[in-house]
Amino acid sequence: MSLRMRKSKVLPPACPLTECMALLGGAWTPNVIWYLSDGQRRFSELRRDIPSVSAKMLSARLRQLEDKGVIARRVMPTSPPSVEYSLTVLGRELIPAINAIVGVGLRLKSIADDPALLRSRNRRPRRAMA
């Protein structure tokens, strides 16, 4: 006799967690949010902050974040025109999540930098002999 399969009551893939993780999982998105958390930045400043990202990728990511309402783009009336990016209210709500990820990253880095610490964390406690 087999058990009857139950239907899941969890929301389908369009759930809020999936939506947020899809945004944060995008290439360079956490980096952009991290550097904008300190205030407004111009494109060239973000390029200098994140040297590994190409101009094309950064431009695409900024456009995507603007479309999602995470960042605001302001064109400055200068010659030549300059653009500044800043976090919106929604974007600032992501800062605690990014800070938590950074905290875990720092702990992981300290473990990786200290092999003795890594060995002690991987060691299983010995059972007492009876």
37 inside domain: yes
Domain that holds residue 43: 17-122
Cis peptide bond upstream of 80, omega within 30: yes
- pTM comes to 0.74
Q: How many structural domains compose the chain? A: 1
pLDDT digits (tens, 9 = 90+) for 63-96: 999 999 999 999 999 888 899 999 999 999 999 9
Q: Are 102 and 34 in contact (CB under 8 A)?
A: yes
**Domain annotation covers residue 105:** yes
Is 52 part of any domain? Answer: yes
Residue 121 neighbours by CB under 8 Å, 6+ apart: 111
**What is the Cβ-side half-sphere exposure of residue 24, based on CA atoms within 13 angstroms?**
18
- Identify residue 65 by its one-letter amino acid code: L
Instruction: Assess whether pLDDT exceeds 70 at residue 29.
Output: yes
Q: CATH no. for residue 92?
A: 1.10.10.10
